[in-house]
Amino acid sequence: MNGASTLFKKEVLRFWKVAFQTVCAPVLTAVMYLLVFGHTLEDHVKVYDSVGYTQFLIPGLVMMSVLQNAFANSSSSLIQSKITGNLVFLLLTPLSPLAWFVAYVGAAIVRGLAVGAGVLLVTAWFAPPGLDNILWVLLFTVLGAGLMGTLGLIAGLWAEKFDQLAAFQNFIIMPMTFLSGVFYSVHSLPGVWQGVSHLNPFFYMIDGFRRGFFGVSDVSPWLSLGVVASSFAVTAGLALSLLKRGYKIRS
Amino acid sequence: MPNAAAPPAISFENVKKTYRGGQVKALDGVSFDIHAGEFFGLLGPNGAGKTTLISVLAGLAKATEGRVRVMGHDVVDDYAAARKALGVVPQELVFDPFFSVRESLRIQSGYFGVHGNDAWIDELLHNLGLTDKANANMRQLSGGMKRRVLVAQALVHRPPVIVLDEPTAGVDVELRQTLWQFIARLNKEGHTVLLTTHYLEEAEALCQRIGMLKAGRIVALDRTSQLLAGTASTMLRFKTDAVLPPDIAARARVTGRIVQVTAHDANEVESTLAALRQVGCPIEDLEIGRADLEDVFLEIMQGEHA
């Protein structure tokens, strides 16, 4: 795993060198969501008795930013390297599939955490959400970012052009994050849609994460942890198998 | 100096590579060894399979059949050891736009588990004329400079076997001189070099042994001197505006007014000139010289030795 640390550092440096685009811009986007939705709905929506809507919204926005940026990091790095051809520098090395996985997903987690911390710092200034259990917060952040970094790795391997990656992001990742309870509690939905939401693993990431702030959640945090951890295990297994086969990167 | 008694630095064993379910044969049973310390040239026309063979060697492509070993390590079963022993300069001019030259070299070195490698990186930068570009971003470099960085990246982990896939394609004379001096020095120090190039004068000057690929098969494999000796050794060069007799036209290489015809011996030279006189073909600036590797290459590719 000696070379994995270099790949990890390189992947972190890659986004850090353009932090204005990869960290600051998503923070600004999340603040915009908070200002618009928080201001509009604060007096109209009540999710939990002890929690105002703006407070409720903050953990959702933080987690949405973590998830989207973790996915963007591994997927965009891989597709850029494939299309520009500089992936050859990695393909020629003795790095194992596990080293690739640890480095790409590790860097995705770091970017997710950096953006998430930025969003939390800025939005908490508007309405501090409180903190019930930091362990849930950290566990769901790291696992959620890891799951999305892994999905980004799979998407980056699969996509042959930017268009395909954008389709993956816009038609799968974006709807699943938006429909996971970022802006509302799934209990406010009709029964059918509540059922559909419970099939969405993103719902468990956000619900478990929110539990860490408020001490209340739509489902048990242990159930959320089980769903998120098993989703991560399945996608990690798939990503490692694709890397081992050299799927779409070794002919 | 090559060491034929030692285990081969590179060993190709009945390597086959097919695409589209076997319909396209890129490599069709390639077998040969490259000795440790050897400077070996792999030649062939476009599409002959040179880059595919190098891709299989480097782990960029998987052979459909056969085995490849680098310093005794199988490139599939023992890929990590095989890749550590190999430094490959890819044909395509690729770079990572996020990093400077020095950062790119440190990163590439780190991938191979070689950290704190700045002394060797400085030596590479010096030998490849890149010292003043060390902190420049890769995007700011000219094509020739980027090519030098590719060479440095291939050598940064000090591999015993160096593979250069068309390293001088489209680069200026200065880089060629710098590059060949440096690679020749590494070869003298014991590194094995595998070179593919379209510049046959480079192959003739540098390579101790040459293999020629045609349609995925090795059609010639010998010492460079033997290849030159074993084929037509004389070349007639002249200029003409007239139409050549059909039997001479069939074996001539024509570039504008310049005609080159190979001959095996003095009798064949005489008979060629007689044939030209007989049809009244006027010729100017006649020269008779030694055939070079380009002539050998064309003769073999035209099928006479295949």
Domain boundaries along the sequence of chain A: 2-245
CB contact under 8 A, A96 and B110: no
Q: HSE (CB half, 13 Å, CA atoms) of B216?
A: 15
**CATH number for the domain whose boundaries are B232-290:** 3.30.70
Which amino acid, B66?
G
Q: Which two tokens stand for residue A140?
A: 């769901």
Q: Which of A88, A90, A100, A243 to probe the B interface (max B CBs under 10 A)?
A: A88
Percent of chain B with pLDDT over 90: 46
CB contact under 8 A, A250 and B84: no
Within 8 A of A81 by CB-CB distance, chain B residues are: 96
* Dihedral of alpha carbons B215, B216, B219, B221, sign: positive
Q: Tell me the residue length of chain B.
A: 306
Q: How far apart are CA B209 and CA B192, in angstroms?
A: 12
| Mean pLDDT in order along chain A per 10 residues (251 residues) | 88 92 88 79 67 81 92 95 94 96 97 94 82 91 96 95 91 85 76 83 91 88 95 96 94 86
| C-alpha to C-alpha distance for A104 and A77, rounded to whole angstroms | 9
Contact status, residue B276 vs residue B300, Cβ threshold 8 Å: no
| A96 interface with B at CB cutoff 8 Å | yes
Q: Is B88 left (phi over 0), alpha (psi -120 to 50) or beta?
A: beta
Structure confidence at residue B306 (pLDDT): 42
At residue B213, φ and ψ (nearest 5 deg) are -105, 140
For B120, counting Cβ atoms within 10 Å of its Cβ (0-12 exposed, 13-18 middle, 19+ buried), the class is: middle
Task: Tell me the CA end-to-end span of chain A in Å, nearest whole number.
Answer: 25
Render pLDDT for A180-208 as a digit per residue (tens, 0 to 9).
877 777 777 777 878 888 888 899 999 99
Report DSSP letters for B19-58, one per residue: ETTTTEEEEEEEEEEE-BT-EEEEE--TTSSHHHHHHHHH
The answer to whether A13 contacts chain B (CB < 8 Å) is: yes
Full-model pTM: 0.86
Q: Which residues from A are below 8 Å from B80, CB to CB?
A: 94, 96
Pick from B60, B81, B84: CB nearest A91 = B60
Q: Do A94 and B83 touch (CB under 8 A)?
A: yes
Minimal CA separation from B62 to chain A, in Å:
6
Q: Residue B38: name the closest of B141, B228, B187 by CA.
A: B187
Q: Which of B230, B239, B240, B247 is nearest to B299 (CA)?
A: B230
Contact A197, A180 (CB under 8 A): yes
Cα distances from A81 to residues A3, A84, A172, B14, B96, in angstroms, run 18, 5, 23, 33, 8
Q: At B185, which amino acid appears?
A: R
Residues in chain B closer than 8 A to A107 (CB atoms): none
* Superfamily, domain B10-228: P-loop containing nucleotide triphosphate hydrolases (3.40.50.300)
Query: Could you tell me how far CA B258 lies from the centroid of its own chain?
Result: 27
Chain B contacts of A1, Cβ < 8 Å? none
Residue A251 contacts B, CB cutoff 8 Å: yes
* Nearest chain B CA: its distance from A168 CA (Å): 25
* Percent of chain B predicted with pLDDT > 70: 95
Both tokens assigned to A48: 């939990």
At residue B97's C-alpha, the angle toward residues B91 and B101, to 5°, is 80
Q: Identify whether the C-beta of residue A150 lies closer than 8 Å to the C-beta of residue A233.
A: no
Q: Which residues of B touch A7 (CB under 8 A)?
A: 110-111
Decide: helix, strand or coil at residue B128. Answer: coil
* Average pLDDT of chain B, as a whole number: 87
- B303 — pLDDT class (breaks 50, 70, 90): low
Is residue B121 scored above 80 in pLDDT? Answer: yes
Tell me how far apart the alpha carbons of residues A98 and A5 are, in angstroms, rounded to a whole number. Answer: 12
Cβ distance A112 to A70 under 8 Å? yes
AA identity, residue B11: S
Residue ranges of the alpha helices (H) in B208-265? 224-229, 246-251
Structural element, H or E, at residue B111 = helix B101-111
Cβ A110 vs Cβ B120: under 8 Å:
no
- Distance CA(B203)–CA(B213), nearest Å, equals 14
Q: Which of A86, A104, A247 to mutate to test the interface with B (most CBs of B within 10 A)?
A: A86
What's the rounded Cα separation, in Å, for the pair A123 and A202? 21
Q: How far is A34 from chain B (nearest CA, A)?
A: 33
Interface of B with A (CB under 8 A): 55, 58-62, 79-81, 83-84, 86, 88, 90, 92, 94-99, 103, 107-108, 110-113, 115, 153
Tell me the chain A residues in contact with residue B86 when contact means C-beta distances shorter than 8 Å: 92
Q: What is the mean pLDDT of residues B202-208?
A: 87
Q: Which residue has the higher pLDDT, B234 or A251?
A: A251
pLDDT given for residue B92 in this prediction: 87
What is the residue whose two structure tokens read 């933080």?
A62
Say if the Cβ atoms of B98 and A5 lie within 8 Å.
Answer: no
* Closest alpha carbon within chain A to B79: A94
Write out chain A residues lying below 8 Å of B107, CB-based.
6, 10, 89
Q: What is the pLDDT of residues B7-65, one digit of tens each?
A: 899 999 999 999 887 788 899 999 999 999 999 999 988 888 999 999 999 999 999 99
Residues of A in contact with B84 (CB under 8 A): 94
Chain centroid offset of residue B6 CA: 23
Radius of gyration of chain B from its Cα atoms, rounded to whole angstroms: 22
- Where along chain B do its domains lie? 10-228, 232-290
pLDDT confidence band for B305 (50 / 70 / 90):
very low
ipTM of the complex: 0.86
Q: Record the tokens describing residue B235, joined without a space.
A: 């070349």
How far separated are the first and last CA of chain B, in Å rounded?
30
The answer to whether A211 touches A131, Cβ cutoff 8 Å, is: no
